[in-house]
Chains A and B, each alone.
Chain A
Amino acid sequence: MTQTHDGSPTRRRGSRGGDRIMVPEADFTSYYGRAIVKPAPWEKDIAFYLFTGGVAAGSSLLAAGADLTGRPGLRRVARLGSLGGLGLSVGFLVHDLGRPSRFLNMLRVAKLTSPMSVGTWILSLHGPFAALASAAEVVSMLPAGWQRIGPLRLVAVLGRPAGLVGALTATPVAAYTAVLLADTATPAWHSAHEELPFVFCGSASAASGGLGLLGAPVAQAGPARAFAVGGALVELGAERRMERSMGLSAETLHHGKAGRWMRASTLLTAGGAIGALVGRRSRLLSAVSGAALMAGSLCTRMGVYEAGLASARDPKYTVVPQRERVDRGEPVRHRQ
């Protein structure tokens, strides 16, 4: 604690300005200004994972589509993106554990009430199939002689069916992370639970489509372009809607670190989407737009992540909404 306090509980004015006043300023009481709920004890790993998991999921969808419609260039970048995204995701997730050596304990139980457990099983289902499809892609890049080796031939043959299973299990990978964050007492995450899945799925589509634009030849990148622009529009729209339904804690998306990430996200995502539409014949502009969309997606994840931590650190976001509903005579009670 760096603040000094007299012996009495802190009462202070809630609003600290900012570019937008979401609600009237709040007067509230706390115990020496200390947090009530605890911020998630996670490193930035988890924000990175939100991004890499989204890229992996979207890429796996694009890869299956490209495979079925005969777009080998798009398929290659999407399958490699899926593999890279998955590998990084697992790395981030394991690294963030307090006891990384016990990561397999995640598979002891399957619990519907735990989005992390559900997510683990979703990843365990999706991961091997998506990775097998990616392995088939790697095999196709080997010298022709090597491709005739028995096991490698088998991998190549299994590429398409594995990729299809991977695609069918991909969207839950992109969507569950929103539930993962929302199913907490962290004010800015929980209050966003209606729209956060759409923000995250949109963000995953924009990022993976962006990767397609970055890596695939223009002639084959059409679907990636449509997917990216659609995702960017959904993300931007859902994000605006989310801020309206969040109430007081929407402030945290505008202040400090989270505010900077979110502003960058809007610029990069909107700019990337426009660039992708305008530059449909230019390899360079497509690539730059794709990179901007990916960066925008990363910024969204960082912004939402940081906003949640900020909302947990300040007791205002826990106390004020709860106090207001109690004072209105509408505390949360089971009897209806």
Chain B
Amino acid sequence: MTGPNSLFGPLDPAPDAGYVDAPKRKGFFTDTSVCIGCKACEVACKEWNDVPENLYQMLGTSYDNSHSLNANQWRHVAFIERPGTTPAPDQPAAAPVDIGMPTVGAAPSGVPDEAKPDFQWLMSSDVCKHCTHAACLDVCPTGSLFRSEFGTVVVQDDICNGCGYCVAACPYGVIDRRKGPEGDSRVGIAQKCTLCYDRLTDNQRPACAQACPTESIQYGDVDELRERASERVATLHEQGVMDARLYGNDPEDGVGGTGAFFLLLDEPEVYGLPPDPVVTTKDLPRMYQRAGLAAAAMLAGVAVSFLGRRP
């Protein structure tokens, strides 16, 4: 079951984990260019998975009061407000299309477009990446974290003993040990997105994708999603959105590509994502080698300390 790429490199994770006749690998393609920041994904996730309240209050960071991905937040919408990027002169902004929606709110203003504040939103719904090479799963000492037949990474609540190793191992800072609320049955246990494992086994879409009103969150076979994502980036580039880029779609990257990947409109770190994440276990053989050498040196050291001395 272990191949040359078991720690690093392109891989289909479910067969590598020993599944025979596994279904196609499932994942998310989150297209942030159409995210409207409605947080329906956050709510749907909490409702379906019985994720308790987050322990954060008003943060004063744009519309983001859910703070981060953590044990009580399995989808997290990031909000970045900033000056807009002026379209290139030969790429005029498309005129709005009337889709016959009833008008609410303020009456149309007489302010010309040039006089309006130059402003841009970046919004992105972040989630567990379900890495091809998942550090959390690799380092879990109890086998609580496992690779599902869908190629996803899931915690078994009844096995986890809360050692917290996965928390430090995740290169994205996704998984966390639940701290509260008091009385919750999963306090002290590592928690994160399961890609709605229970819904998948019933041929249903994960709750967040089901609830997303703009199809910013797309669920499906990873192979097909990767193609769709490449087409989408090409389309955006044609439209002059040159900042559009994919994140996590490359099976050659530091984590072997992610099952949940993204189309971003700026550098990953702007959204709180690491620019070039690497699974820590890529270096594990080297670490064991160095530790073996150090241990041998220590044994030699104690032998030398006793040699040639008379009590």
Contact = CB atoms under 8 A, between A and B. Distances in A.
B143 A108 contact: yes
Interface in A213-265: 219-220, 222-224, 226-227, 230-231, 234
A62 B302 contact: yes
Interface in B260-311: 267, 269-278, 280-284, 286-288, 290-299, 301-306, 309, 311
A70 interface: yes
A165 interface: no
Interface in B134-174: 135, 138-144, 159-165, 167-173
B173 A111 contact: no
Contacts of A335: 252
B302 A227 contact: yes
B25 to A, nearest CB: 18
B240 interface: no
B81 interface: yes
Contacts of A176: 291
Given A102-B162, A200-B294, A223-B306, A8 B169 contact: no
A333 B309 CA distance: 53
B82 to A, nearest CB: 5
B176 A41 contact: yes
Contacts of B293: 197-198
B193 to A, nearest CB: 15
Given A98-B188, A220-B311, A334 B9 contact: yes
B139 A113 contact: yes
Interface in B97-119: none
B276 A322 contact: yes
A115 B273 CA distance: 26
A111 B143 contact: yes
Contact of A99 (B59, B162, B303, B304): B162
Given A34-B68, A41-B177, A98 B294 contact: no
A130 interface: no
A315 B68 CA distance: 13
A61 B239 CA distance: 70
Contacts of A99: 160-162, 188-189
Contact of B272 (A7, A30, A334): A30
Contacts of B165: 40, 114, 116, 184
Given A7-B82, A31-B271, A41-B176, A223 B309 contact: yes
B49 interface: no
B61 interface: yes
B168 A171 contact: no
Nearest to B83: A8
A37 B302 contact: no
Contact of B142 (A106, A185, A209): A106
A44 B46 CA distance: 32
A28 B276 contact: no
Interface in A37-78: 37-42, 58, 61-62, 65, 68-71
Contact of B280 (A116, A184, A205): A184
A106 B82 contact: no
B301 A183 contact: no
A103 B188 CA distance: 13
A273 to B, nearest CB: 14
B252 A38 contact: no
B221 to A, nearest CB: 22
Size category of the binding interface on chain A: 35 or more
Contacts of A65: 302-303, 305-306
B306 A9 contact: no
B40 to A, nearest CB: 21
A113 B171 contact: no
B297 A198 contact: yes
Interface of B: 5, 7-10, 59-62, 64, 67-68, 70, 78-82, 135, 138-144, 159-165, 167-173, 175-178, 187-190, 250-254, 256, 267, 269-278, 280-284, 286-288, 290-299, 301-306, 309, 311
Interface of A: 1, 4-5, 7-9, 28-32, 34-42, 58, 61-62, 65, 68-71, 96-100, 102-103, 105-106, 108-109, 111, 113-117, 120, 167, 171-172, 174-176, 178-179, 182-186, 189-190, 193-198, 200-201, 204-205, 209, 219-220, 222-224, 226-227, 230-231, 234, 312, 315, 318-319, 322-323, 325-326, 331-335
Given A4-B60, A194-B290, A335-B252, 20 more contacts: A1-B59, A7-B61, A7-B79, A98-B160, A100-B161, A109-B142, A114-B140, A171-B296, A175-B292, A179-B291, A185-B171, A186-B168, A189-B168, A193-B290, A198-B297, A201-B294, A205-B298, A231-B298, A234-B301, A332-B276
27 contacts: A5-B60, A9-B270, A32-B64, A34-B68, A37-B274, A41-B167, A41-B177, A98-B190, A102-B142, A102-B160, A117-B141, A175-B298, A178-B291, A184-B165, A185-B280, A194-B290, A197-B291, A198-B294, A201-B294, A209-B305, A222-B305, A222-B309, A226-B305, A226-B309, A230-B305, A315-B269, A323-B269
**Top 6 nearest A-B pairs by Cβ distance?**
A98-B162, A98-B188, A31-B272, A7-B81, A102-B161, A197-B294
